[in-house]
Amino acid sequence: MRVVLDTNVVVSGVMHPSSVPARVLLLVYDTRIQPVIDLRVLNEYHEVLARPKLKIPGVRASDFLRLLGDVAERVIVTEEAVSVLGSFALKDPDDRPFMEVAVSAAAEAIVTGNTSHFPEAALDPIRVLTPRQLLDELGKP
């Protein structure tokens, strides 16, 4: 399943190894999901994971980012995606790159802890799933 992982899922998963988001990240290790990124998304992951206030062990963050760099599908955002999504107001403008990547890649889902930030009307047929919904869908309780 090709998915875009919102930064909050990546950060929560790396910070809390026994959490539901961490189990989503394990699906990347197990190749059960295929993360889809572009350079903006990857840079946001790096920037947020490096914030001193989060106190994330550098080894844990760098291990996941290294894996992501190896296995993620890199996408070039299309002008069509930018144009289609440009008319939608977002609660958090920093979410726009994640939507553009999902639309450009025809990903199956965006996985986020902030589902209300992603207008499903703009993304149809791409689904907006919580980490729990993704695990349930993949039969991973």
Q: Give me the pLDDT at residue 55, please.
A: 85
Q: How far apart are the first and last CA of the chain?
A: 17
Nearest to 82 by CA among 93, 71, 97, 67: 97
Phi, psi of 138 (to 5 degrees): -90, 5
Q: Which CATH architecture has domain 2-137?
A: 3-Layer(aba) Sandwich (3.40)
| Model pLDDT, residue 48 | 94
DSSP assignment, residue 126?
A: S
Boundaries of every domain in the chain: 2-137
Per residue in 85-137, pLDDT tens? 877 778 888 999 999 999 999 999 999 999 999 888 788 899 999 999 999 99
CA distance 112 to 114: 5
pLDDT for position 61:
87
Asked if residue 20 has pLDDT above 90, the reply is yes
Other CB atoms within 10 Å distance of the CB of residue 110: 27
Q: Is the pLDDT of residue 41 over 80?
A: yes
